Amino acid sequence: MPYRPPERLPRTHKKDPDKPASWAYYASYLLTKYRLQPVLLVVCQDRSTAEWAAGPVDFGPPQWPLLTLRPLVAGPHNMPVITDPAEVRKDLALATLSAITHAKNPDVGAILKAMTTVLRDTPQAIADPIIELIAQGLGKRPAAELWRNLVAVDLSFYKSSIAEEIRDEGRAQRAATDVLRLLDRRGIDVSNDDRERITSCDDLGVLGRWFDRAITAASTTEVFADE
């Protein structure tokens, strides 16, 4: 059966005593609304949190528990480190979990590189959700920036939202550089605050207007006029 990524990303978690009740609600909701038997997958990036999340957790009076929650937990202690593209091809779902759970592993660069190597030859309908899942799963860890760079270089032909976002960021950076270069060539003084304003702008339309004004402006005040 071909790999079908989940509709919703299993989120990485920190220890939170309120989470088990939320998990139980999610599972009950899916069972009630869709009449499907749900599986709760909790994805963690450190072993202690994973062991905490594994439960089981009982709900109800101790003498007569109403419900027992038993999550399926993926963490760095039970997910393999997959750096071989051949192994990635065998099981894309497992490789995706490997990439997310080992976000803090020193070999995460090799893990992510193996993913993009395989995704280059993977149908876009399958590759796109995986690209998004890994991006979301890595969160704001340093590995997330590495993943974005790999996607931009290795998977530049994909049209996933993260790939488009990366390409837009690249275009915005080049446009900001053009504005600053033009002002410098014309001898216009650019303060640190103005420079920061230009380089932090990610709106290509605004940067385009600033560039047009920079052609004749006598100061950055005129460049930013009416913005």
d(CA 46, CA 224): 47
DSSP 66: S
pLDDT of residue 180: 92
Query: CB neighbours (10 Å) of residue 12?
Result: 21
164 and 126 Cβ atoms separated by less than 8 Å: no
178 and 186 Cβ atoms separated by less than 8 Å: no
pLDDT of residue 58: 92
Nearest CA among 83, 79, 95 for reference residue 133 = 95
For residue 188 the two structure tokens come to: 């216009």
Distance (Å) of CA 139 to CA 58, 80, 100, 183: 30, 20, 9, 37
pLDDT of residue 174: 83
pLDDT of residue 159: 61
Nearest CA among 52, 59, 68, 69 for reference residue 13 = 52
What does R_g of the chain's alpha carbons equal in angstroms? 24
pLDDT of residue 178: 87
153 and 166 Cβ atoms separated by less than 8 Å: no
d(CA 91, CA 98): 11
For residue 35 the two structure tokens come to: 């009449």
pLDDT of residue 153: 74
**What is the pTM (predicted TM-score) of this model?**
0.65
pLDDT of residue 14: 67
pLDDT of residue 7: 40
d(CA 205, CA 217): 18
DSSP 59: E
Compute the CA torsion angle 39, 43, 46, 52 (nearest 10 deg): -30
d(CA 159, CA 149): 15
d(CA 126, CA 130): 7
One pLDDT digit (tens) per residue for the chain, 227 residues: 343 444 444 455 567 888 999 999 999 999 999 998 899 999 999 999 999 999 899 999 989 989 999 999 999 999 999 999 999 999 999 999 999 999 999 999 999 999 999 999 999 889 988 998 999 899 888 998 889 888 877 776 666 666 666 666 667 788 888 899 889 888 999 999 999 999 988 888 898 899 889 888 899 999 998 76
Nearest CA among 120, 116, 121 for reference residue 134 = 116
pLDDT of residue 101: 96
Q: Where are the domains of the chain?
A: 1-159, 165-223
